[in-house]
Amino acid sequence: MKQILRIYIQRQVDDDPDTSGLDWKRILDYNHGRFNFISIRAVAEVLFTEPGPKQTIVSGGVTNVEDDWNPDLISEYEQNQYLELIGKLAAIGFSNGQIDQFVPAELRA
């Protein structure tokens, strides 16, 4: 029986960001560690058979996000990643009931 073990948002520091769109002041801020670039994606750990190996399903992710941006904008990116992952989980046969218990209430179908 298919089972979702957990769903979460993963933020990772991007060690090789694209800084070409930054002005000189913003580049100095980055070089002095005043902000970082991060990537954001939603991750689901699932089992397709029990016993069986744990599998990881991920959303496409968003990269080059400046971590000092407006928190509402970062939250919007996270929500979009959740929604993308929910679509993937539904496409491979997980029910809304299985998915809903792991996602924030405001994103439930």
Residues 36, 72: Cα–Cα separation, whole Å: 17
More confident residue, 53 or 51: 53
Task: Give the count of domains, the chain.
Answer: 1
**pLDDT tens string 58-81:** 999 999 999 999 999 999 999 999
Closest to 7 in 3D by CA, of 45, 54, 53, 55? 45
Residue 79 is assigned to a structural domain of this protein: yes
Residue 22 is assigned to a structural domain of this protein: yes
Quote the domain boundaries for residue 70: 3-104
Residue 39 is assigned to a structural domain of this protein: yes
Residue 26 is assigned to a structural domain of this protein: yes
What pTM value is reported for the model?
0.87
Amino acid at position 104, single letter: P
